Structure 1
Amino acid sequence: MHPARRLAGPLAMATAAAFFLAGCTSGGPAESGGGGTSAAVTVPPSTGTPEPAAPSASASSGDPAAAGLATFTFPDGRLSFTRPADWKAEVFEASASPYVGTATIYDASDKQLVSIYYGQIADGVSGPVTRTVFESVPVPGLQGRSTPEAHASFYVDWDDDDAIYHLQLTAGAPATGPRDAVKGIILLGDRVLTAEVLFDDQQFPDDKSARAWFAGSQGQALKAILASFTFR
């Protein structure tokens, strides 16, 4: 394994807070502290601002797209995304100023699928890998809002003999070949956004299996979530 390198810069402050928030979302709703501004809100499938969408011609009874879509907006009113209407989102708002919030998306069986961080602090780690990119598409609602422009990307990084698959937002389109592995940090003015699918218990035996999963209903539903982000 190659040693990781920590990135430094004006946004790499309050790192401990960022890792604390990630821990809060991975375990479900977090309780607000005494006298603080923290709040945990669960948005069930039946609430929020629904946006009906017709299912695709290939949708089956088990296809997440068949349930239509619902829109979720962060409490500050600036960042939104869509999800299948029978999935849910939980948001943990740690601070209003500077703004710091996280969200977790769960499927209809209550399995955690997507982790989102949104705020005014950031931290990242890099290290050399060999990358194969399967697909990367621009996020229409974030075009012109960040440089490099945000993409929804599915790829695998090889670190020695270890393969790590990623489906996440990336700053620009990732390229195949030797690269520095950096978590996808999208800069939106004074805000930072990261969003990635959680593959903790679903790494793939090979690239063929990964491609087959991505082409299926769950892979395409998760890609659609990442590609649906808008910011105002």
Structure 2
Amino acid sequence: MRRARRPHLIVSLAAAAAVTLAGCGSGATPGAGGEAPPSAVAPTDSGNAAPGYSGQLIPFTFPDRPLSVQYPVEWHADYRTGAGMPTGAGTATFSDPQSTNNVTVNLGQAADTVSVPVSRTVFESEPVPGLSGQPAPAPNYSFYVDRTDGKPTYRMHLTAGAPAPGNSTALDGTIRVGEDDLVAEAHFKKPFASDDAAKAWLAGAEGQAFKALLLSMANG
């Protein structure tokens, strides 16, 4: 268990966020009949569009921290500071307007973590190319299920290295970006009925879009 570090003093970023996220705030639909947000260059084709998505990606850059990410042009983006996990984080939320699921990306000072015994099944895990220069263990995109007393918890997020399958102790490692800790995770509003249902979701349009977003992260 790591001792919590004192959070930074967060400088007001209202002006910076307004410039960066104009047209990208909560309820906005970037690229849907309006001007592209100032934080985005012209949309690019991913070359591997999931069914139901155009494959066009908008790059989002944190206005005050060294991190960028690409997300589908059909989605919404929102950015806030001073709340969430890690403590005092800059928090970007990416959401599919056709779904109740979303992805949050946080940069800030991490709080304590708690370890619990689990039985883990890893569906897939692979390194994030844009974060390859970060301290070891290398940041990975990972999708897996942890079972505690038979109850499943499905997780898709960035992990410090590849998660170990089998019976182990669940403890999230630290991913460092600059002076901050990075926490990036998909949130599922409804639990999957089974491992097969989770795999089917991953193979579908939304699952592939979530995966592409997490794999697109880059520092600098």
TM-score scaled by structure 1? 0.76
Q: CA deviation at 1:204?
A: 1.1
1:54 aligns with 2:45: yes
**1-structure distance, mates of 2:192, 2:133:** 34
TM-superposed deviation, 1:109: 3.7
Unaligned runs of 5+ in 1: 1-6, 19-31
For residues 79-228 of structure 1, the aligned pairs below 5 Å read: 79-94=67-82, 100-109=89-98, 111-183=100-172, 185-199=174-188, 201-228=189-216
Cα deviation 1:46-75 (Å, max 9, x = unaligned):
312135333657754x2x3x1500000001
**Aligned counterpart for 2:2 among listed residues 1, 8, 12:** 8
Q: After the TM superposition, which residues 41-80 of structure 1 pair with which residues of structure 2 at under 5 Å, given as runs?
A: 42=21, 43=24, 44=28, 45=30, 46-47=36-37, 48-54=39-45, 56=47, 59-60=50-51, 62=52, 64=53, 66-80=54-68
Q: Secondary structure at the residue paired with 1:130?
A: strand
* Residue type at the aligned position of 2:12: T
1:197 maps to amino acid: A
What is the rounded CA distance, in whole Å, between the counterparts of 2:99 and 2:48 in structure 1? Answer: 27
Equivalent pairs counted in the alignment come to 200
Q: Distance in 2 between matches of 1:55 and 1:37?
A: 34
SS at match of 1:125: coil
- TM-score, normalised to structure 2's length? 0.80
Q: What is the CA-CA distance between 1:93 and the residue it aligns to?
A: 1.9
5+ residue gaps, structure 2, are 31-35
